[in-house]
Amino acid sequence: MPIVKLQQVTYHYPFTEKPALQDINLEVEEGEFVAVIGPNGAGKSTLCYTLAGFIPHFYKGELKGIVEVDGVLVQDSDLSDWVLKVGLVFQNPFNQISGAKYTVFEEVAFGLENSGVPRSEIIRRVEEVLQMTGIADLADRSPYSLSGGQQQRVALASILVMQPKVLVLDEPTSQMDPIGTREVFGVIRQMAEQGMTVVMAEHKVEWIAQFADRVIALWEGKIYLEGKPHEVLTDERLVEKGFGVSRYTTTARLALPRGLWQKERPLPVTLEEAVAGFSALRNARRKQG
């Protein structure tokens, strides 16, 4: 049973003629991890804002179609109620830090305090999510003394602690190094396995291939491709439209007509897949003499 349903969704920002989203039809199952890719201006952030209720409750403009989460239409819900169902992590964590708290622990607890959660429950949930996101050692630090990657983890923890049914992330690892990116993807994958539904706009296709269940490719506000990660991420049409593709996919695609990649082998997206593919070819040629 889908927890997220979008039917014929079209959205215009105020004073614009061209829609930012056009005729979007999308269903997301409970516990599914869906990654959204696309070049700049494709509509990724707008889709995130729509799912999170910021459209139409904050960004006005014109929204047409049905946006439904957990059986409730966004137009029939107040933003204050909607954010308890759908949590949004922004690309820039500085925009998400409240500025009202002095420590990371207090910042992560802020939403629970506003919701009237008992003190003992707040402490338990905050400590749990700080451990999960790998920032327990930062609990007593000021959020403004942290690096961009650390602040992004604080922003993620602040949303996860609220336990929303749907987690929406707009390029959450843009300020993180590879180690931080892997850890955050691991946390998000773990939340999906525990039943949380995840929709993430992201450029880092190698990580998407390893962790996501499905990929949506947006182009000029429309769904251009949709399917399993490897099917979408190795599709030649992505290159034609200027999507970012994995360097390993590009390398194998160039190697294929030169006989340096086995035709029957799927194109790689990750380093591990590329190493396995080129090693298999080398071993096959050794056996042939």
The CATH number covering residue 131 comes to: 3.40.50.300
Question: Same structural domain for residues 182 and 172?
Answer: yes
Chosen domain end from 209, 226, 245: 245
Question: Same structural domain for residues 240 and 286?
Answer: no
Q: What residue numbers bound the domain in which 73 lies?
A: 2-245
Q: Which residue has the tokens 């949590």?
A: 87
The whole-model pTM stands at: 0.91
pLDDT higher than 90, residue 123? yes
Question: Same structural domain for residues 68 and 177?
Answer: yes
Distance CA 64, CA 7 (A): 9
Angle between helices 119-132 and 104-114 (to 10 degrees): 130
Q: How many domains does the chain have?
A: 2
> pLDDT tens-digit profile of 144-183?
898 888 888 899 999 999 999 999 999 888 878 888 888 8
Question: Same structural domain for residues 121 and 170?
Answer: yes
Question: Same structural domain for residues 14 and 147?
Answer: yes
Question: Same structural domain for residues 288 and 239?
Answer: no
Average pLDDT over every residue of 126-152: 90
Question: Same structural domain for residues 168 and 32?
Answer: yes
pLDDT at 284: 78
Question: Same structural domain for residues 68 and 97?
Answer: yes
Question: Same structural domain for residues 43 and 92?
Answer: yes
Pairing of strands 2-12, 62-69: antiparallel
For residues 90 and 170, the answer to whether their CB atoms sit within 8 Å is yes
pLDDT at 230: 95
> pLDDT tens-digit profile of 55-113?
999 998 999 999 999 999 998 988 888 988 999 998 877 777 877 889 999 999 999 99
User: What is the DSSP annotation of 195-243?
Assistant: T-EEEEE-S-HHHHHHH-SEEEEEETTEEEEEE-HHHHHT-HHHHHTT-
Question: Same structural domain for residues 239 and 258?
Answer: no
pLDDT at 96: 79
